């Protein structure tokens, strides 16, 4: 596992971009449509993902990358509090679970992009 993104769902993407890009100086890396933007976190290999199209029930949290989400989950399914079953995203798959404190943790792969 490797930390890929810090995920921040938002109802106000222009306001979030104003803060992180314009005020804090994070460089824009990519966009997925008009509602999701990746920003470089200075001094980090991980990026910030601002998502104005968040799935219902999703909250902020880390997104870790693995080779294949479904295989990763199959090895750990009974031990995780899964709130978001794996689903297709551009280039791969994404799923979410809660840790013991109720924090959201996401796992993704880019297997379709390879």
pLDDT in tens, 9-64: 999 999 999 999 999 999 999 998 889 999 999 899 999 999 998 877 779 999 99
Whether residues 47 and 91 fall in one domain: no
Same domain? For 45 and 18 the reply is: yes
87 pLDDT band (50/70/90 cuts)? very high
Residues 66 and 113 in one domain: yes
pTM of the model: 0.88
Residue 35 confidence (pLDDT): 92
- Same domain, yes or no, for 61 and 89? yes
Helix (H, G, I), strand (E, B) or coil at 15: helix
110 and 91 Cβ atoms separated by less than 8 Å: yes
Q: Is the pLDDT of residue 66 over 80?
A: yes
pLDDT of residue 54: 83
Which pLDDT score, from 0 to 100, does residue 21 have? 94
The mean pLDDT value of the chain amounts to 92
**Residue in the structure block whose two tokens are 């909250």:** 59
Residue 3 shares a structural domain with residue 45: yes
Residue 12's domain comprises 1-54
Q: Residue 114 pLDDT more than 70?
A: no
pLDDT for 75 equals 86
The arithmetic mean of pLDDT across residues 78-85, rounded, is: 90
Contact between 99 and 105 under an 8 Å Cβ cutoff? The reply is yes
d(CA 82, CA 77): 8
Q: Do 29 and 71 belong together in one domain?
A: no
CB-based contacts of 102: which residues, under 8 Å, 6+ apart?
Answer: none
């Amino acid at each position: 596992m490797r930390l890929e993104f810090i995920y921040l769902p938002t109802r106000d993407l222009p306001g979030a971009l104003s803060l992180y890009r314009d005020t804090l100086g994070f460089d824009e890396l990519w966009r997925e449509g008009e509602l999701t933007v990746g920003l470089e976190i200075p001094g980090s290999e991980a990026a910030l993902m601002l998502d104005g199209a968040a799935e219902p029930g999703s909250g902020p949290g880390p997104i870790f990358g693995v080779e294949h989400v479904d295989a990763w989950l199959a090895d750990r399914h009974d031990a995780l509090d899964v709130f978001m079953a794996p689903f297709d995203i551009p280039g791969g798959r994404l799923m979410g679970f809660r840790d013991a404190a109720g924090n959201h943790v996401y796992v993704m792969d880019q297997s379709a992009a390879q």
